[in-house]
Chains A and B, each alone.
Chain A
Amino acid sequence: MEVLARPYDLWEGIYKIWLIITIIIYAVVAIPALYFMIRYRYKPGDREVGDQEHEGHWGLEALWTIIPLIIVLYLATHGFAVFTQMRKPPENALELKVTAFSWGWMFQYPNGKVVVASAIRDTEDKKCRPEECYGVDGVFQQYVYIPAGVPIKVLLTSQDVIHSFYVQPAGVTQDAVPGRTTYTWFQINKPGEYWVFCREYCGQWHSRMFAKLKVVPKEEFERWLRGELADSGHESGKGAVANINAEAQEVVR
């Protein structure tokens, strides 16, 4: 069975292990605790004072030091292995250069094509209805086309403050730090629309810093990349990019 997105499949594995261990530990602590709370209540004439000699038990204390130690060492080592796998982008990955700015990202494809996903900055914000605030208008906020089933390596940087880049279905987050290039990778197998959010607080419109990924079959993506797809907003996009860049520069200053 094909997974929806990578490396989310790896994340799900470690998530399930953690969840099971967590539920077991909670039960191991809470069930005896609740039992003692009910069983050893103060009862006048019968149980007025607790057992004064019961001050510790060497074996028990060693037990609940060593077993948790083994569990956390296992978790950290397993996490180490999974993380190493997660961080390695496949060889054939498509490279996408992403530059964050306040408040949006500029995506550069290998053939030089540029797409901008910028927050709709409506100063009289009361007018912006929820579906509009997070909508794609094709000018400032353009669809980011991604081929289905192809690994994408993202090279990230920022031109002003620290932002971040979170691909919801793939479960990857990476900060975009000015003066540095960081990377992450993901792959989405099923065509559709998916969210990208900024997760590092970056000022006034942090909450509206999002992008919509439009995952399409590979052939359709190739046509879009060559500018043959009507929906691409290609021409109007160019003007918008210039505007956004000018504005972003202004913000920096």
Chain B
Amino acid sequence: MREAVHVEKPWFSASIWEWIFTTDHKKIGIMYGVTSTLFFILAGLMALGMRLELFSPGAQYLKPETYNYFLTVHGTVILLWWAIGVWASFANFLIPLMIGARDVAFPRLNALGYWMFFAASVIALITLFPGNQIMTMWTGYPPLAAKEGVGFAGTTALFVFIWHLTGFASIAGAVNFITTVIRMRQPGIGFFNLNLFIHGVIAANVIQLLGVPSVAGAVTMLFLDTYLNTSFFDPTKGGDPLLYQNLFWFYSHPAVYVMVLPAFGIISEIVSAFARKPIFGYKSMVLAIWAIAVVGFTVWTHHMFVSGIPDWVKILMSYTTLLIAVPTGIKIFNWVATLYRAAIVYRTPMLYALGAILMFLIGGLTGIPLGLPAFDIAVHDSYFVVGHFHYVLGMAVTLSAFGGFFYWWPKVTGRMYSETLGKTSFWLVLIGSNLLYFPQLIIGLMGMPRRYYDYPAIPEWVTLHQIQTYGAFILAFGLFIAIVALIKGALTGEKAGPNPWNSNSLEWRIPSPPPPHNFDRPPKVEENYCPHKYRK
């Protein structure tokens, strides 16, 4: 039998055969990254289509069913491929390097996880063919989602399989990363001197392990209701549609933290490296991450405030929802305090990270009222909600993902990206995103419902939709420049040394790009090792 860890050449000179059969965490990380980014682009193009449609009231270019299909794929792909999938890329490439391991604990399981993710990608692409569209929205609420057909759900089975396959990949990844971090750390690296990125990823993976079974069960029942005539969610036969919502959000609210905790980790890595000083309040950062992960499981009914659940449940989960703001606030205050008496070097990753912090603050502050049933009742399922989660996902997560790309690009490719292109991309993305997402908050307060293909010609609404569409194109152009900067850097950039950012973290102590087996000898860390420090 072939050895599980079988790497001879560095990742960039591997053959197609090696890419397919590899169990190397670096190659798998890159495959996750490429897949996630390609699907991010696909979902982004669909969003541009929707923005064009909404530029003016009335039917423009799309049929309502096409619009609903775009909206479903945009939501599903951005969440499962981008906001969750892209962290599998970072985690695969970086975790073994950060803890001084040669690979992850279960390399074959790791490869299997990626190929399940790949299978989900194939299913997502199948929906592009006529007759296979899914129009369930990413939430897939029954009874709608259990009604196949163009006016309703489209092809329910494809929606269910996407969840099953990405869920399998998530669980495989979670088992693997949690075991790797528990068992394979170098002596001297403990719970309180792990990289904050690792804390973020592991907390996210614990959530995956506990939460994914719930959503997998929900969509399985949806599948049985649709095709085998069961009646879990069918009220005409004694089922209850709200059962689905409870099972779905029991995972899908904590899933928000699966998306955002690794982003917090990346922001911490970048801010500390470019401030050239240790992260402020490391221990409270760690505790905040884990507090968010735990309390995150007790807040799910705020997605159901108007669905007819008892009022006392709303009040209970209103308190727990607002409590999440406390550890989140601690993280933001600590980042700001890290800047105090720092020596801030303004490179592209730092711009992205600082942008992510200040924009995430808007996302967080607009989330607080949504946790209050008294406020939520007027804006539930309105554009206010859309604006809120785009400040979190479109800004905090996407800005940190691109910040992370720029930050570790010299490590992954061995070459430096162009600083001018990088910084230009940041400003375009920041301006475009704000033009896109801030009007969503305003139009939501005015009452505009979400998931609308068309809207009445109320003059303020038309203006606000037009600003959004202009913003969307500026944002798209900015992201295009960012991708150009990265690709150009990988092909023709200057050679980068092993530690261009003067970070003390372990991944910067090996050559760039990392050799096939990462560390020739197990790296010894100094006493009082702390990854978030300046290193000459």
Chain A positions within 8 Å of B, measured between CB atoms, are 8, 10-11, 14-15, 18, 22, 25-26, 29-30, 32-33, 36-37, 40-43, 47-52, 54-57, 60-61, 64-65, 68-69, 72-73, 75-76, 79-80, 82-84, 86-87, 102, 125-126, 128-131, 133-134, 160-162, 164, 166, 168, 171-175, 177-180, 182, 195, 197-208, 210, 251
B151 part of interface (Cβ distance < 8 Å): yes
A177-B241, A201-B137, A204-B150 as given contacts; A168 in contact with B344, CB under 8 Å: no
Q: Are B308 and A65 in contact (CB under 8 A)?
A: no
Q: Are A54 and B341 in contact (CB under 8 A)?
A: yes
Interface string of B439-455 (1 = CB under 8 A from A): 00000010101111111
Question: Closest Cβ of chain A: how far from B287's Cβ, in Å?
Answer: 10
Q: Are B374 and A36 in contact (CB under 8 A)?
A: no
Give complex CA distance A56, B279 in Å.
8
Interface string of B330-364 (1 = CB under 8 A from A): 10111011011111111000000010011001100
Q: Are A29 and B374 in contact (CB under 8 A)?
A: no
B68 part of interface (Cβ distance < 8 Å): yes
A15-B375, A172-B378, A201-B137 as given contacts; A33 in contact with B456, CB under 8 Å: no
| Total B residues in contact with A, Cβ cutoff 8 Å | 93
Query: Looking at the complex, which one of B150, B340, B345, B445 makes contact with A54 (CB distance below 8 Å)?
Result: B340
Give complex CA distance A188, B314 in Å.
26
Q: Which of B276-313 contact A (CB under 8 A)?
A: 276-278, 280-284, 306-308, 311
B247 part of interface (Cβ distance < 8 Å): no
Q: Are A25 and B64 in contact (CB under 8 A)?
A: no
A29-B332, A68-B326, A210-B456 as given contacts; A14 in contact with B375, CB under 8 Å: yes
Q: Which residues of A contact B319 (CB under 8 A)?
A: 73, 76
Query: Looking at the complex, which one of A11, A52, A79, A82 makes contact with B278 (CB distance below 8 Å)?
Result: A52
Q: Which residues of B contact A50 (CB under 8 A)?
A: 275-277, 341-344, 534
Chain B positions within 8 Å of A, measured between CB atoms, are 56-59, 63-65, 68, 135, 137, 141, 143-144, 147, 150-153, 235-236, 239-242, 275-278, 280-284, 306-308, 311, 314-315, 318-319, 322-323, 325-326, 329-330, 332-334, 336-337, 339-346, 354, 357-358, 361-362, 365-366, 368-369, 371-375, 377-382, 445, 447, 449-457, 533-534
Query: Looking at the complex, which one of B63, B329, B354, B366 makes contact with A64 (CB distance below 8 Å)?
Result: B329
Q: Which residues of B contact A203 (CB under 8 A)?
A: 68, 135, 144, 147, 151-153
Question: What are 20 sample pairs from A and B whose C-beta atoms fall under 8 A apart?
Answer: A8-B378, A10-B374, A14-B372, A26-B361, A30-B358, A47-B343, A49-B343, A49-B534, A51-B341, A56-B280, A64-B329, A64-B333, A68-B325, A72-B323, A80-B318, A171-B447, A173-B381, A180-B235, A199-B380, A203-B147
